[in-house]
């Protein structure tokens, strides 16, 4: 039976009761759990003695014009999904529990956090770094699981843990996709039927970029242009606004002078008003 706790104190009591010196794994989520989250939970279940799933829609990572208020929330559904995938505990705190003194403490991040998502969503990664640091402190986990779906977030968290000497190991889980290639996301449920038909175009454009890299294209800006040119176009029914399409170093997320090893291809676009992100690994023929 999965136990649901809503306070840090309750979480610690529950962990003390369950933990017998074994490992604790954390899967941080914002809820509205789907098969992508389930893959993280199952991986944690296979590797850890105790598995904690946090469900918290973190207000500090949303901009003032973003969808914090309308972000999908379904705690009963999330608890059922967490239980079905073997979680021991669901930690679902209130905003007041996580931020007892709002604005008093923030983790500020620069470097790779300023580019791409960070440029499109100012302050977003400070919010992510702050909540991740708080969750690691609250849970005291040995390992935390993050999806490659939010690739820049994953790189940022790896850097955060390294720079703050946090005693947590970060493990990455590959992207889970729909049969038509659309990366699973809680926001997909807000796509109109017409926008849902257009949305897999992001993945198809990334595949075009990967084919370029695998075909020997060594100029990252030409790879990025090939992706951009393949992205869905605005129609009368579904407006598409592209934020970025890039071919970057998989660790620094900077554009390399030349593609001589593995790269990461990333896109972000608003499809029918819903902001979607996706990414894909690619390697040139000599590195494959």
Number of residues that bind ligand AMP (CB under 6 A): 17
Report the relative pairing of strands 263-271 and 143-147 from DSSP bridges: unpaired
- State phi, psi for 271 to the nearest 5 degrees: -115, 115
Q: Using the rule CB under 6 A, which residue among 24, 25, 26, 37 binds ligand AMP?
A: 37
Quote the strand ranges of the chain, DSSP E.
Answer: 3-5, 24-29, 50-55, 89-91, 143-147, 169-173, 240-248, 263-271, 274-282
CB nearer to ligand AMP: pick between 78 and 97: 78
CB-based contact 128:57 (threshold 8 Å): no
Question: Is 85 among the residues that bind ligand AMP (CB under 6 A)?
Answer: no
Known active-site residue 20: no
* Choice from 14, 40, 227, 245 touching ligand AMP (CB under 6 A): 40
Q: Which of 11, 39, 170, 276 is in the footprint of ligand AMP by CB under 6 A?
A: 39
In the bound complex, what is the minimum distance in angstroms from residue 198's beta carbon to ligand AMP?
A: 18
Q: How far apart are CA 213 and CA 262, in angstroms?
A: 9
Taking the complex as a whole, how short is the minimal distance between the CB of residue 231 and ligand AMP, in angstroms? 19
Q: Which two tokens stand for residue 24?
A: 């604790």
Smallest distance from ligand AMP to CB 182, Å: 9
Q: How far apart are CA 52 and CA 70, in angstroms?
A: 25
Q: In what order do the strands lie in the sheet with 89-91?
A: 3-5, 89-91, 50-55, 24-29, 143-147, 169-173
Q: For the segment 163-182, give every residue that binds ligand AMP (CB under 6 A).
A: 173, 175-176
> Cα(77)–Cα(84) distance, rounded to whole angstroms?
11
Judged by CB under 6 A, the chain residues 124 through 153 that form the site for ligand AMP are 146-147, 149-150
At closest approach, how far in Å is the CB of 228 from ligand AMP?
A: 23
Q: Which residues are catalytic?
A: 37
Residues found near ligand AMP in the complex (CB under 6 A): 29-30, 36-37, 39-40, 146-147, 149-150, 173, 175-176, 183-186
């Amino acid at each position: 039976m999965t136990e649901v706790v809503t306070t840090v104190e309750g979480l610690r009591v529950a962990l003390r009761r369950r933990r017998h010196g074994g490992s604790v794994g954390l899967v941080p989520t914002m809820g509205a759990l789907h098969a992508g989250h389930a893959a993280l939970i199952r991986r944690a279940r296979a590797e850890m003695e105790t598995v904690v799933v946090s469900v918290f829609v973190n207000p500090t990572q949303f901009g003032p014009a973003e969808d914090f208020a309308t972000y999908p929330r379904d705690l009963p559904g999330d608890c059922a999904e967490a239980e079905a995938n073997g979680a021991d505990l669901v930690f679902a705190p209130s905003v007041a529990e996580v931020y007892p003194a709002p604005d008093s403490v923030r983790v500020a991040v620069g470097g790779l956090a300023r580019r791409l998502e960070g440029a499109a969503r100012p302050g977003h990664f400070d919010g992510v770094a702050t909540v991740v640091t708080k969750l690691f402190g609250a849970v005291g986990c040995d390992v935390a699981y993050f999806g490659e779906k939010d690739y820049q977030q994953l790189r940022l968290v790896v850097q955060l843990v390294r720079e703050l000497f946090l005693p947590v190991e970060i493990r990455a889980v590959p992207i889970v996709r729909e049969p038509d290639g659309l990366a699973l996301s809680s926001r997909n449920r807000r796509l109109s039927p017409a926008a849902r038909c257009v949305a897999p175009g992001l993945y198809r454009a990334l595949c075009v970029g990967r084919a370029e890299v695998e075909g020997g294209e060594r100029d990252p800006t030409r790879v990025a242009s090939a992706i951009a040119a393949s992205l869905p176009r605005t129609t009368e029914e579904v407006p598409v606004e592209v934020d970025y399409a890039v071919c970057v170093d998989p660790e620094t997320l900077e554009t390399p002078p030349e593609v001589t090893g593995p790269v990461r291809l990333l896109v972000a676009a608003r499809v029918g008003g819903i902001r979607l992100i996706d990414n894909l690994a690619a390697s040139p023929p000599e590195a494959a």
